[in-house]
Amino acid sequence: MRIERLELRLLELPLVHFFETSFGRVDDKHFILVRVDGDGVSGYGECVADVDPYYSAETNDTCWHIIERFIAPRVVGAEFAHPREVFPALKAIRGHNMAKAAVEMAAWDLHARQRGEPLCTTLGGTRTRIESGVSIGIQPSLDDLAAKVDRELAAGYRRIKIKVKPGWDVDPVRMLRGRFGGIPLMVDANAAYSIADADHLARLDAFDLMMIEQPLDYDDVADHVALQRRLRTPICLDESIKTVGIARQAIAAGACRIINIKPGRVGGFAESIRLHDLCASYGIPVWHGGMLESGIGRAANIHLSTLPNFTLPGDVAASKRYFDPDLIEPPIEVAADGTIAVPTAPGIGVTIRLDRVESATRRQAVLEAARA
């Protein structure tokens, strides 16, 4: 596979509903879309960085800079026998996993399309449907939250996750248990607490949650070890798991019992597969996280979720919860049983509406190989 051309676009798409986490509220999605071309075929990768460095240190601007100045020169014009060679080819660049992942995932899509097979096959996945859960942002009131949960359960979703922060944690969980009984329920704190809150967080043990996601700081493992000793509820790490090496240390130390995999956070599909396999070897279940992706990134996430150790429902839900219209056709839909069909066409397997991509584009750059 030779990558002859790399195109970067910064897109802006309005969200159907605002999304609020412990670090703030978003109304519109701003993200980079990478396209790589080779042998007359195009592959796409959606970057999960945001405008602000709040979920991670990366932003759209840092990703643009790193891709343009450091990644493209190592990838454009280069020959790769397999897309798993892309991440190692970027080893000199420290960090910047979201920037690396956007290009690496585009290369996997290109490779799968060139082979004429769905991406899940190239990745080594086996499932034909994946289990879908929802992530519900912080709501203005408990009644608003109850109404949202009611609607998502009626739509068939297999697991409810709510965002929590100090002042919005035990009360919403108690309310949901009271109104909806033993539904599969979990919380995500996005690093909003410190170890000094351990006693407070232990109050959540009374509610039989599937897990508490990323309660403590984004780069902290040691305090999660101490907290997991104090809690009956399993800890799931998200932000903290930036590399496969950190995951190995976190698991060995007992910092978590579950891991959320987002390819953007670890540098792409090849690293996600390594992380998936590492977790399987330790008996740690994984699930696929979400970053409010458009249908392009969402389709890629569905394919990765077909690997065998993705045994818990992920944050990969229907397109219409996020964008209307989405950038793809048909939109990704959830069946009444809370599952999503894995697309079967080559690559990510969805049709990209280039007219909608064009009208959402705010900035564009093309990097081409020098002719021999």
50 lines the binding site for Mg ion (CB under 5 A): no
- What is the contact mask toward Mg ion in residues 189 to 228, using x (rule: CB under 5 A)? ------------------------x---------------
Instruction: Give the residue closest to ligand OSB by C-beta.
Output: 290
Q: Indicate which of Mg ion, ligand OSB, none lies near residue 152 (CB less than 5 to 8 Å, by partner kind).
A: none
Q: Of 75-83, 247-255, 285-293, 352-360, which segment contacts ligand OSB by CB under 6 A? A: 285-293
Residue choice 264, 315, 318, 343 for contact with ligand OSB (CB under 6 A):
315
Distance in Å, CB of 168 to ligand OSB, minimum: 15
Q: Of 117-125, 229-237, 290-298, 338-346, which segment contacts ligand OSB by CB under 6 A? A: 290-298
CB 282 within 8 A of CB 249: no
Distance in Å, CB of 292 to ligand OSB, minimum: 5
Q: Indicate which of ligand OSB, Mg ion, none lies near residue 135 (CB less than 5 to 8 Å, by partner kind).
A: ligand OSB
Choice between 84 and 262, CB closer to Mg ion: 262
Helices 97-115 and 269-282: crossing angle in degrees, nearest 10, is: 100
Residue choice 97, 190, 272, 306 for contact with ligand OSB (CB under 6 A):
190
272 lines the binding site for ligand OSB (CB under 6 A): no
Q: Indicate which of ligand OSB, Mg ion, none lies near residue 291 (CB less than 5 to 8 Å, by partner kind).
A: ligand OSB
Buried b (16+ CB within 10 A) or exposed e, 288-318: bbbbbbbbbbbbbbbbbbbbebbebbbbbbb
Handedness of CA 201, 204, 206, 212 (dihedral sign): negative
188 lines the binding site for Mg ion (CB under 5 A): yes
Reply yes or no: is the peptide bond before residue 325 cis, omega within 30 of 0.
yes
Distance in Å, CB of 344 to Mg ion, minimum: 29
20 lines the binding site for ligand OSB (CB under 6 A): no
Catalytic residues: 163, 262
Residue choice 104, 109, 169, 188 for contact with ligand OSB (CB under 6 A):
188
313 lines the binding site for ligand OSB (CB under 6 A): no
Q: Of 14-22, 230-238, 318-326, 336-344, which segment contacts Mg ion by CB under 5 A? A: 230-238
Q: Of 95-103, 204-212, 287-295, 333-341, which segment contacts ligand OSB by CB under 6 A? A: 287-295
Distance in Å, CB of 161 to Mg ion, minimum: 8
User: What pairs with residue 12 in β-bridges?
Assistant: 30
Q: Indicate which of Mg ion, ligand OSB, none lies near residue 104 (CB less than 5 to 8 Å, by partner kind).
A: none
Q: Give residues in contact with ligand OSB (CB under 6 A).
A: 55, 135, 188, 190, 238, 289-292, 315, 317
Q: Give residues in contact with Mg ion (CB under 5 A).
A: 188, 213, 238
